[in-house]
Amino acid sequence: MFLILLVQLSVVYQLSTAFPTSFGQYDIVAKENDDKTTRFFIVGDWGGLPVSPFDTPSEVAVADAMGKLGVKLNTTFQLALGDNFYYDGVQTVNDSRFQTTFEHVFSATSLQTPWYVLAGNHDHGGNVSAEIEYGKTSKRWIFPDYFYSFSLWQSDKQKKIIDFIMIDTVILCGGDTSSDWDHKPLEGPSNKHVAEAYWQWIEGQLRQSTAPYLLVNGHFPVYSVAEHGPTKCLVDRLRPMLHQYHATAYICGHDHNLQHLTNDMNGVHMNYFVVGAANFIDPSQEHAKDVPVDALKFFWAGSPVYGGFGLAEVNNTHLSLSFIDHAEQTLYQAVMTPRS
């Protein structure tokens, strides 16, 4: 039965590779600084506009700040958490948006490092397979499949530091059409068999992780106080697995602000981060009552013009995630310790 599901995955989504198991060729070696710390950026909902100049002031400001800070901190790579191209994704691998919204904006030398990409709902409005295909021609655009995993290793390659699991929350939960995206619960995946196979894959990845830190990254939030609020599908299905396998954090975009929420389940503490402020800013907290009591630890929607992004810093003793604004100022920092 499971073999049949794998065939369905290949046919329905025209995946760029076979059903994902691991992508060791994308594993990355830590670029340790003098303080023995490796640093990387996290950016979500950064995808410009479909009309000239194909970017926004916030996107340009965030790219500029990331570029400058990347030099100072000697960053290693970026996580890009979806809605890579507003409003309807790209159509082909030769779409000009790859240049006008990505290459020409995030052009700093320090950002010519790997970008680990996943798809958001606006990407699904276009052709996600074209974004996957673009990775075959770009040296820094790493997007091998709708779901994939990779690891950060110590510089001597003797020990993993972080396991990353990249997931497509649209395939899991729905939101394939624009009418599903806002102001109502998602109706569920367009193909339940495909979604179920990927849920099994996610659990397998969580179960086998042995790294001190485990980061699961998607587009839709598990918890959010903002416009879209919690994603019921993820609260019901992903959240229990995150706690069961002691994930360090779930990181997402979708809501256009910066949030840190925490929650305990069966004695296991979990961090939930929303990093979706790189292109548009939305101060809404209309779902504040829809998250667990006292879950929200930080919320920022800042200037309506200039956005923000995330900076992760990891060493042998801790992993910190900071929210940074367009002026390179630290707005907030959360510190996490290795998994038990």
Tell me the DSSP string of 154-207.
-TTSSSEEEEEEE--HHHHH---SGGGSSSS-----S-HHHHHHHHHHHHHHHH
Give the H/E segment covering residue 232.
helix 232-244
Structure tokens of 183? 């102001």
How do beta strands 330-336 and 319-325 pair? antiparallel
Which pLDDT does position 115 carry in this prediction? 97
The contacts of residue 26 (CB under 8 Å, 6+ apart) are 114, 116, 142, 144, 148, 150
Q: Homologous superfamily of 2-336 in CATH?
A: Metallo-dependent phosphatases (3.60.21.10)
Q: How many CB atoms lie within 10 A of CB 153?
A: 18
243 labelled as ligand-binding?
no
Which pLDDT does position 302 carry in this prediction? 85
Which pLDDT does position 184 carry in this prediction? 60
Structure tokens of 315? 């060493």
Which pLDDT does position 36 carry in this prediction? 86
Give the H/E segment covering residue 275.
strand 268-275
45 labelled as ligand-binding?
yes
256 labelled as ligand-binding?
yes
Which pLDDT does position 228 carry in this prediction? 93
Q: How many CB atoms lie within 10 A of CB 277?
A: 32
Which pLDDT does position 43 carry in this prediction? 98
Residues of the chain with pLDDT under 50: 1-24, 180
219 labelled as ligand-binding?
yes
Domain ranges of the chain: 2-336
Which pLDDT does position 303 carry in this prediction? 76
CA gap 305, 321 in Å, rounded: 23
83 labelled as ligand-binding?
yes
DSSP reduced 3-state for 37? coil
